Amino acid sequence: MIKKCLFPVAGYGTRFLPATKSMPKEMLPVVNKPLVQYGVEEALDAGLHEIGFVTGRGKRAIADHFDVSYELEHQIAGTDKEKYLESIRAVISKGSFSYTRQSEMRGLGDAILSGRRLIGDEAFGVVLSDDLCVAADEGVLAQMVRLYKQFRCSIVAVQEVPEDQISKFGVIAGDPIKDGIYQVTNMVEKPEPKDAPSNLAIIGRYILTPDIFEIIENTPPGKNNEVQLTDALMTQAQNGCVLAYKFKGTRFDCGSVAGFVEATNFVYENIYNK
Ligand code: UTP
């Protein structure tokens, strides 16, 4: 029912300079796979097979990664190295990949709006691949798709964060509907701890209904002079319904160096070596 997933990948990744000077942050490897591949695999596992990237200048390596490399295939075919290509071959055969560009870095809301033509008039997933999510059974996006089938409205994934971390996130306030599900009543982007409406922080997984596009168009730039998705979602929550979902699983902040190292250690010990 939800078929499409948008990946905003236009960011500069300044926190990883100089590594990201000529290489997209999303292509940095967590052990043996680029960060973005984990996100795409999560989307495919949730049944979202039409993958749309909102890219910017210097991101061509992402498009090359999700395409067949004939030279490499030819070189490796029939050798014992073929096993190293298995995961990316599976991704390429399951998904279809489209690209559009965000001409200026005007914020996440603007990046989503740039993806409008790839999505059209249907509900869709959004993955910020900086957030690497690991779940025991069902992936985080699959959990959210299941919830969408029940409630049919936009959903943001949230997790509890300590007070000294809260100003890095969009933060919600909400009325509990049932275990781990809240109807959003307030949302603030990167609040000071004293202004945070709760300790529930939004992480990089969303299901959005398509009316979000028109709302973003009418959302003025907010914090840091960027068009904030959080502001648009707040309008959507006031007009109808937005849910916050405390997902089952662990999220690593691979947009920061410390989180990236933590994810690398975790994947090496718990996934790669298993
Ligand atoms: P971040 O601000 O965390 O990513 O945006 P960044 O700018 O790449 O990283 P730093 O802060 O410079 O190190 C979160 C996500 O939103 C995307 C980014 O690519 C990232 O995946 N984004 C953000 C866009 O695509 N366009 C924007 O205008 C802003």
* Side-chain-side CA neighbours of residue 119 (13 Å): 28
Cα separation, 99 vs 20, in Å, equals: 20
Cα separation, 251 vs 245, in Å, equals: 14
Number of structural domains found in the chain: 1
Q: Residues with Cβ within 6 A of ligand 1?
A: 8-15, 25, 54, 102, 105-108, 110-111, 128, 130, 255
Q: What CA–CA distances, in Å, run from 233 to 126, 209, 217? A: 13, 10, 12
Burial status of residue 61 (CB atoms within 10 A of its CB: 0-12, 13-18, 19 or more): middle
Give me the domain span that covers residue 48. Answer: 4-272
CATH number for the domain that contains residue 172: 3.90.550.10
Q: Give the per-residue pLDDT at 114.
A: 97
pTM of the model: 0.96
Residue 219 tokens read as: 């959302």
* CA of residue 13 to ligand 1 center, whole Å: 7
Q: Under a CB-based contact definition with an 8 Å cutoff, are residues 216 and 232 in contact?
A: yes
Smallest CA separation from ligand 1 atom 27, residue: 107
Q: Give the per-residue pLDDT at 250.
A: 97
What percentage of the chain's residues is helix, strand, coil (to nearest 5)?
40, 25, 35
Q: Which helix (H) or strand (E) holds 156?
A: strand 154-160
Atom of ligand 1 nearest to the CA of 54: 25
Taking only the tens of pLDDT, the chain with its 274 residues reads 899 999 999 999 999 999 999 999 999 999 999 999 999 999 999 999 999 999 998 899 999 999 999 999 999 989 999 999 999 999 999 999 999 999 999 999 999 999 999 999 999 999 999 999 999 989 999 999 999 999 999 999 999 999 999 999 999 999 999 989 999 999 999 999 999 999 999 999 999 999 999 999 999 999 889 999 999 999 999 998 899 999 999 999 999 999 999 999 999 999 988 7
* CA of residue 73 to ligand 1 center, whole Å: 33
Q: Give the per-residue pLDDT at 223.
A: 86
